[in-house]
């Protein structure tokens, strides 16, 4: 049956649905939507306003991704991702060897929509990973000795590329050391994603610290909302 309340009386089941697994969040489909009903969500991906969609399929026809690209956010799950890619037979699936969220973001920002095929897109994304260094700040759940550091329960821990960078009972001290490290790397772009346990005012102070120590860098402070990690820091 046709829905008389829907534009042009289109059938309800003809309307578009974006697959959240396959969607890369590129936004390319929004340029072809005649009803302007594809909406960007806070998580960076898109959904369709089903009350406005007329089922014209323009978004489907113009979607540049005939392949699924997987971006692991942890090096430990890369093998599982590659196994899943091998097991998938109805789509071409590629795995970009990302190990952190900042690497995934950098890879997505280096998608080349003019590339001739999915492999070229994947190669460009993979090639961009060497430009980003990831740091994270978390806390120690117990006393321990690790990599030559005497760690006390409740201490703040700074990790860089998965390895222990430093530990201290002061979060500000670790942030300053990471800012100095970013300056030593001559980072041009620094993004601080603050977690659910960090107040925005404190995160802005951390951003100001990085701007002071790294005057030549463009510094962005963003709400990541992540648990466990007070900050995830991207340095490029």
pLDDT at 40: 87
Distances (CA, A) of 106 to 116, 161, 191: 21, 15, 11
> Which residue reads 């009903």 in tokens?
37
Helix (H, G, I), strand (E, B) or coil at 103: helix
Predicted structure pTM score: 0.70
Give tens-digit pLDDT for 104-152.
889 888 877 667 777 788 888 899 999 999 999 999 999 888 878 888 9
**Distance of alpha carbon 115 from alpha carbon 91, whole angstroms:** 19
Dihedral of CA 77/225/130/117: which sign?
positive
DSSP state string for 84-100 = HHHH--SSEEEE----S
**Distance of alpha carbon 192 from alpha carbon 158, whole angstroms:** 14
Confidence of residue 67 (pLDDT cuts 50, 70, 90): low
pLDDT at 8: 38
> Which residue reads 């406005």 in tokens?
52
Averaged pLDDT score across all residues of the chain:
83
Q: What is the DSSP-derived secondary structure letter of residue 229?
A: -
The domains of the chain, with CATH numbers, are 7-62 (3.30.70.20), 67-130 (no CATH), 132-235 (3.30.1180.10)
How many residues are there in the chain?
A: 236
Q: Answer yes or no: are the C-beta atoms of 216 and 183 closer than 8 Å.
A: no
Q: Does residue 64 register a pLDDT over 50?
A: yes
pLDDT at 12: 36
Confidence of residue 21 (pLDDT cuts 50, 70, 90): low
Q: Which of 87, 85, 110 is nearest to 24 (CA)?
A: 110
**Distance of alpha carbon 30 from alpha carbon 113, whole angstroms:** 15
Q: What is the DSSP-derived secondary structure letter of residue 152?
A: -
**Distance of alpha carbon 228 from alpha carbon 101, whole angstroms:** 14
Give tens-digit pLDDT for 38-61.
888 887 778 888 677 777 767 766
pLDDT at 59: 73
């Amino acid at each position: 049956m046709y829905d008389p309340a829907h534009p042009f009386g289109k059938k309800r089941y003809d309307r578009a649905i974006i697959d959240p697994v396959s969607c890369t969040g590129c936004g390319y489909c929004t340029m072809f939507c005649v009803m302007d009903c594809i909406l960007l969500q806070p998580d960076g991906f898109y959904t369709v306003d089903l009350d406005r969609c007329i089922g014209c399929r323009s978004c489907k026809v113009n979607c540049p991704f005939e392949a699924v690209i997987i971006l692991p956010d942890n090096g430990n799950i890369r093998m599982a991702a590659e196994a899943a890619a091998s097991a998938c037979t109805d789509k071409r699936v590629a795995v970009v060897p990302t190990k952190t969220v900042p690497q995934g973001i950098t890879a997505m920002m280096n998608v080349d929509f003019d590339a001739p095929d999915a492999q070229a897109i994947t190669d460009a994304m993979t090639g961009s990973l060497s430009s980003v260094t990831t740091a994270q700040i978390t806390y120690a759940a117990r006393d321990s000795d690790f990599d030559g550091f005497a760690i006390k329960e409740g201490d703040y821990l700074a990790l860089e590329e998965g390895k222990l960078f430093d530990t201290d009972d002061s979060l500000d001290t670790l942030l300053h050391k990471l800012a100095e490290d970013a300056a030593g790397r001559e980072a041009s772009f620094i993004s601080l994603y603050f977690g659910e346990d960090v107040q925005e005012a404190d995160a802005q102070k951390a951003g100001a610290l990085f701007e002071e120590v790294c005057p030549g860098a463009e510094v962005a402070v963003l709400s990541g909302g992540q648990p466990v990690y007070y900050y995830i820091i991207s340095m490029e």
